[in-house]
Amino acid sequence: MSRPSIAKKVVSSIKPDMEFDARRKRSDVSLSAQGRTVVLKVKAGDVAAFRATLNTYTRLIEVSRGLIENGKGSTRNG
C-alpha cells in the first residue's frame, strides 16, 4: 500500500466480511494494518479451509485496495 491510511481503510472495509465469516467457524481470521501493510493471519482446521480462506481474503484485500487507490475494482485484470 502506498500510504498507511490506505491500509487502515482496506482493513475497515473488510471487517463486515470478517463478522459474517466468523459464523462459519472453519477458520479464524485476524486482519490488521501496520503502517502501509495489511497483516492477515489465518488459522484453519484443514488445508482446504485454509486455502479457501486465504484466497477469499487475498481477493478482498486486492479489490478493496484497488477501489480505494484507483477507484477501480481488481487491479489484476485492469
Rounded to whole angstroms, the Cα distance separating 55 from 46 reads: 14
Q: What is the pLDDT of residues 5-27, one digit of tens each?
A: 899 999 999 988 787 766 667 88
How large a percentage of the chain has pLDDT more than 70? 81
pTM for this prediction? 0.77
Among 69, 78, 14, CA closest to 36: 69
Which run of H or of E encompasses 70? helix 47-70
Q: Which three cell numbers stand for residue 57?
A: 481474503
Domains and CATH numbers, the chain: 4-70 (3.30.310.50)
Q: What is the biggest distance separating any 2 CA atoms in the chain, rounded to whole angstroms?
A: 36
Q: Do residues 43 and 27 lie in contact, with contact meaning Cβ atoms separated by under 8 Å?
A: yes
The pLDDT confidence band at residue 30, using thresholds 50, 70 and 90, is: very high
